[in-house]
Structure 1
Amino acid sequence: MRAYCGHELGNLEAFALQHFDTPTPGEGELLISVEATALGFVDQLVMRGLYQIKPPTPFVPGGEVVGTVEAVGPGVLGFVPGQRIAAWQFGGGLAEMTIVRQDHAVPVPADLEPAAAASLLLDYLTAYYGLFDRGGLKPGQLVLVTGASGGVGAAAVRLASAASVSVIGLASSDEKREMVSRAGASLVIDYRNENWREELKRAHPSGVDMVFDPVGGGLFEPCFRSLAKRGRHLVVGFASRDSIPSLPANLPLLKSGELVGVDARYLWETDPVRVRQVLSIVLRLSTMRLRRSLM
């Protein structure tokens, strides 16, 4: 089989198509023929050696994988050859065949295309886990989403609006703001305007119940200051690539507010059952066009 493999992190030229023997699934594992693999922000960080975890080499990128089961290892229950499954794992997807652990796999609805299913996995898992598991978001609340036109930001906009939550999105260009509006945001603000918080205050003087923040950088403190009393600021990532932001310690006190970390990788490592539950919900909802049935 062929796989796109690298023998050195940090050097993209070290990655190339190579030939390997087809692997054999072990205890609790599935061998799948890969139909689609989604690549995102995390993948390029890993390949460049900039992610907080550096996998051993040789390394095959691509963690959001959809494919058809070709063979099952000993002890596998609930999966059979010919079944289409999806899994989020740490690499392996840019190959004709790959091994997937059964406790990381979920069935894919028959009417969902492989590419669509793969594109949902990490962004929607992170958004759902952040909004509802870590954030406790409830219908009728108000959430501010930074990077609302990006992958995980757009997922948060769609999931929150589908759960009867009012969404404010921050985005830069006209094209991006239009996309965020179509995704379900009731208000979209250009954060490049130095007075963007004034626009937010005019629309919502009491502040927002939650900030979903995959951007960080210079937006971090102004967004926290935009919280209502007892609000929650979800720290999802630092896509701005600026230095890691800090926050004056008196602000959580004044707001009675919370900073909440959202790490989908931690969920994946510690609670695979919940990961499968969330992925099953997301894949099912995607076939229903995210009807209001999240909670």
Structure 2
Amino acid sequence: MSGTSDRPGADVVAVLGAGVMGETLLSGLLRAGRAAEALLVTERRPERAQELTHRYGVRVVDTATAVQEAGTLVLVVKPQDVPSLLADVAPHLRAGTLVVSLAAGVTTAALEHGLVAGGGPHVPVVRVMPNTPALVDEGMSAIAAGTGSGPEHLDAAEALLGAVGKVVRVPEHHMDAVTAVSGSGPAYVFYVVEAMIEAGVLLGLSREVATTLVVQTVVGAGRMVAETGQHPTVLREQVSSPAGTTMAAVRVLDDHRVRAAFVTAMEAARDRSAELGRLAGS
């Protein structure tokens, strides 16, 4: 991280929060070649701490130790837990430490204010919206810079999240939309997969066969969008013969306003993201 490499602990990353996403990032960093000695994690439950140490060979420490020893802090907690975590972090924070937050809806302004109000220095902050396919190194993360963050801090955050998938940079005012599109997006896909499997069973297929057919169809369709560079409309039309089976199915989807329902659902997700940010003090 530019400008901090001469400080003790500058290359050490502390993951504050060992839930699903925290562990996902931790394991991804290790798979990407990050040394276990350069990673710290916080976890209050002794049995969980022992599990993480045994599984990954990393040190599990308290918040104060993590903040004092690491050059980058990754906050991986629920939005409602952010204020209390910032209060714990602030008294031990060193100037130049990079704070990367994965808390949904919490703005960089709220993070910066919470740290300074708690007695900490003004440090670079980067906000991240990840998603759960990071579990299989196919995550999609968007990052946005706070007022004290420069290109080098975005580079550092991108390198961290790049260990578990792709990363894009967006202005912060787009982050609620990002949350609605990619943050919650896997759930929409799982919802469609679930519906297609149930339809296959209704049509007489075994659940095993229906699941195999649907899952591979979704994987293959996704790869076609990603690798051909063609617009989804073009790809859909290639499957849709005039007066054929696909056209019959798409007509029913249009009759039920499925496309409009997706737009409305994602607007609701965007609004909830903004609401969560306000509840967390953004």
TM score, norm. by length of structure 2: 0.34
Flag the structure with higher helix content: 2
Structure with bigger strand share is 1
Larger Rg: 2
